[in-house]
């Protein structure tokens, strides 16, 4: 669902939170679309409306942990070592629809919840093996499969297009200045 920020702030001024939510729901229904009102719409405050950040601080931290779990640091740099979390934040914020952002946020919430349920720990406090297990559980869930696949694929994209991987591991040269069509390996 696309909510025009100007329109939203008008709603905020004129109506109580409950009324706002009801009104938004009726707008969504009248638009004739299958729209699930995002859970964060309940918690709207003036700060949230004016901020341009899609992900909360805690969610950004989760993006960092997820990228670092898929591709951890080792003898070579991992995802966090090349800043994949900043790419994910920027990419999802600017290039993904609100509906897709919502799916990612829900998957993140689910990871935190499962970490607590399974291990009585925050996701970040879990061991690498525990975090990997939690991510792999996400893959098995019909609800979160898309988010898992997306997080994994975009983490790999961010990592393999980083300056470090391209120049240190993939021999990237922008302008080689020559072409040889058939040389010995």
Partner 1 sequence: MANLNLNIAKKNTYDVIVIGSGASGGWAAKEFCDRGLKTLVLERGRQVKHVEDYPTASKAPWEFEHRGTVSLADKQGFSASGFMREETKHWALPDDEQPVVYEKPFRWTRGYHVGGKSLLWARQTQRWSDYDFEGPIRDGFATDWPIRYKDIEPWYEHVEKFAGIAGFNDNLAELPNSLVQPGFELNCLEQHFKETLTKVYGNRWVISGRCAHLTDPQEIHFQQGRGRCLSQRQCNRGCNYGGYFSSNASTLPWAAKTGNLTLRPHSVVHSIIYDEKKNRAIGVNVIDANSHEMIPFYAKVIFVNGSTINTTAILLNSTSSRFPAGLGNDSGLLGKFIAWHNYRGTANASFDGFKDKKTAGGNPSNAYIPRFRNVLRQETDFLRGYAVGVGGGRGEYSKQTGIGDTLRDNLLNRQLGNWNISAWMMGETVPTEQNHIRLHSDLKDKYGIPQIIFSCDWTENDVKMVKDFREQMQEMFEKAGFQQIRTADSKSAPGADIHEMGGVRMGKNPSHSLLNEWNQLHACKNVFVTDGACMTSTGTQNPTLTFMALAARAANHAVDELKKKNL
Enumerate binding residues for partner 1 (CB under 8 A): 69-72, 74, 76, 78, 87, 90-91, 94-97, 128, 132, 135-136, 156-163, 165-166, 169-170, 172, 174-185
Alpha-carbon distances of 100 from 104, 111, 144, rounded to whole Å: 6, 17, 11
What is the smallest separation between the CB atom of 155 and partner 1, expressed in angstroms? 9
What is the smallest separation between the CB atom of 98 and partner 1, expressed in angstroms? 9
> Which residue, 16 or 75, is less far from partner 1 as judged by CB?
75
What is the smallest separation between the CB atom of 106 and partner 1, expressed in angstroms? 20
Residue 98, SS3? helix
What is the smallest separation between the CB atom of 26 and partner 1, expressed in angstroms? 26
Distance CA(114)–CA(179), nearest Å, equals 53
> Which residue, 59 or 154, is less far from partner 1 as judged by CB?
154
In the chain, the largest separation of any two C-alpha atoms, in whole Å, equals 74
Spell out the residues 6+ positions from residue 70 whose beta carbon is closer than 8 angstroms to its own.
Answer: 79, 135, 151, 152, 155, 156
Backbone φ and ψ for 94, nearest 5 degrees, come out as: -95, -30
- Pick from 94, 65, 35, 58: which is nearest to 155 by CA? 65
> Which residue, 26 or 76, is less far from partner 1 as judged by CB?
76
> Which residue, 41 or 165, is less far from partner 1 as judged by CB?
165
Distance CA(150)–CA(139), nearest Å, equals 11
What is the smallest separation between the CB atom of 113 and partner 1, expressed in angstroms? 20
> Which residue, 29 or 128, is less far from partner 1 as judged by CB?
128
Distance CA(21)–CA(33), nearest Å, equals 17
């Amino acid at each position: 669902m696309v909510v025009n920020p100007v329109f939203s702030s008008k709603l905020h001024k004129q109506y109580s939170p409950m009324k706002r939510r009801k009104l938004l729901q009726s707008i969504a229904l009248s638009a004739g679309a299958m729209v699930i009102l995002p859970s964060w719409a309940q918690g709207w405050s003036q700060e949230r409306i004016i901020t341009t950040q899609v992900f909360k601080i805690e969610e950004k931290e989760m993006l960092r942990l997820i990228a670092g779990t898929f591709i951890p640091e080792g003898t070579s740099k991992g995802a966090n070592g090349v800043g994949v979390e900043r790419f994910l934040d920027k990419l999802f914020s600017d290039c993904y629809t609100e509906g897709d952002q919502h799916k990612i946020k829900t998957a993140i919430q689910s990871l935190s919840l499962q970490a607590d349920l399974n291990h009585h720990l925050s996701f970040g406090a879990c061991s690498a093996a525990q975090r990997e297990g939690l991510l792999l559980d996400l893959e098995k869930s019909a609800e979160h499969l898309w988010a898992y696949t997306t997080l994994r694929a975009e983490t790999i994209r961010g990592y393999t297009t980083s300056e470090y991987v391209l120049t240190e591991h993939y021999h990237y040269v922008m302008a080689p200045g020559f072409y040889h069509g058939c040389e010995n390996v």
